[in-house]
């Protein structure tokens, strides 16, 4: 049985994502509307992960918020409820190696393709969080703060976040120094201390600039320009 979602904290009760964007597209004749969000872009280790969801028109799951606003317990409690509610959902990944080899822009496009292909349905329109269209095809609508304003994007953010967090917790068993179960591959004091002491793990993104600042020199940084003209950070 799916866990019962905890009562929302007061700070989250006043503002909730809506179905307004989806309804406008449905009313315009677009049957399959997909919401997409990503997690892990700023991490130093592990995959880049994108969630994609297709929501039903006739049922609603409450307490869905942008995953960044929720605690780990709240996200876990919502995961099964959201997964069971969606008409279709999928998660796509780009591995740490693919992030290094392709650059973040292409890695994000790759993970998006995998997520959309995993849905098993062809999207008529795709709703994206932010200003950058990493899906293309003339079917996207970009929404600033979409993860907080658009219900399908918020749902995708939770599915992506919980999936990636579980992956990083499992990786922590094999890479104990870096405490991936706690930091999920993002920089924090303990993570940085481990890098200074023992260097990168097998799942670190070795093209990132943090590699330049390590006293440990067993593995050199992979320096490769990003396709959009910036170095990885």
The pLDDT tens digits of the residues spanning 96-107 come to: 999 999 999 999
**CA-based diameter of the chain, in Å?**
58
Displacement of CA 72 from its chain's centroid (Å)? 14
Query: Per the domain annotation, does 213 fall within a domain?
Result: no
Range with the poorest average pLDDT among 83-92, 178-187, 200-209, 220-229: 220-229
pLDDT digit string, tens, across residues 31-44: 999 999 999 999 99
Supply 141's token pair.
Answer: 């609508």
Query: Per the domain annotation, does 82 fall within a domain?
Result: yes
Distance CA 13, CA 15 (A): 6
| Three-state DSSP string of 12-58 | HHCCCCECHHHHHHHHCCCCCEEEEEEECCCCCECCEEEEEEECCCC
Query: Per the domain annotation, does 144 fall within a domain?
Result: yes
Query: What is the extent of the structural domain holding 87?
Result: 11-171
Query: Per the domain annotation, does 91 fall within a domain?
Result: yes
CATH code assigned at 74 = 3.30.420.10
Question: What is the mean pLDDT of the segment spanning 190-199?
Answer: 92
**How open is the CA angle 55-48-155, to the nearest 5 degrees?**
20
- Which stretches of 48-188 are DSSP H helices? 72-85, 96-102, 104-119, 146-149, 151-172, 180-183
Burial class of residue 123 (count of CB atoms within 10 Å of its CB; 0-12, 13-18, 19+): buried
pLDDT digit string, tens, across residues 6-18: 666 555 556 788 8
pLDDT at 65: 79
Burial class of residue 71 (count of CB atoms within 10 Å of its CB; 0-12, 13-18, 19+): exposed
Residue 208 predicted with pLDDT over 70: yes
pLDDT digit string, tens, across residues 109-156: 999 999 999 999 999 999 999 999 999 999 999 999 998 999 999 999
Residue 5 predicted with pLDDT over 70: no
Query: Per the domain annotation, does 20 fall within a domain?
Result: yes
Query: Per the domain annotation, does 31 fall within a domain?
Result: yes
Backbone φ and ψ for 34, nearest 5 degrees, come out as: -110, 130
Eight-class DSSP state of 4 = P
């Amino acid at each position: 049985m799916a866990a019962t979602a905890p009562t929302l904290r007061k700070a989250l009760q006043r503002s909730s994502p809506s179905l307004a964007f989806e309804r406008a597209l449905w009313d315009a004749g677009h049957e399959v509307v997909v919401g997409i969000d990503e997690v892990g872009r700023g991490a130093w280790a592990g995959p880049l992960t994108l969630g994609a969801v297709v929501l039903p028109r006739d049922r609603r799951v409450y307490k869905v918020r942008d995953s960044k606003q929720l605690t780990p317990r709240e996200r876990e409690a919502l995961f099964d409820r959201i997964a069971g509610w969606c008409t279709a959902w999928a998660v796509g990944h780009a591995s740490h190696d693919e992030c290094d080899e392709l650059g973040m822009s292409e890695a994000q496009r790759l993970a998006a393709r995998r997520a959309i292909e995993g849905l098993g349905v062809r999207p008529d329109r795709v709703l994206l969080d932010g200003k950058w269209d990493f899906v293309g095809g003339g079917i996207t609508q970009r929404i600033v703060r979409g993860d907080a304003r658009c219900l399908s994007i918020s749902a995708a953010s939770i599915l992506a976040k919980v999936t990636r967090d579980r992956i990083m917790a499992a990786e922590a068993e094999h890479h104990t120094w870096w405490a991936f179960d706690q930091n999920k591959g993002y920089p924090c004091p303990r993570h940085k201390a481990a890098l200074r002491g023992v260097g990168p793990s097998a799942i670190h993104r070795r093209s990132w600039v943090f590699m330049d600042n390590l006293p440990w020199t067993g593995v050199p940084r992979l320096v490769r320009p990003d396709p959009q003209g910036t170095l990885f950070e």
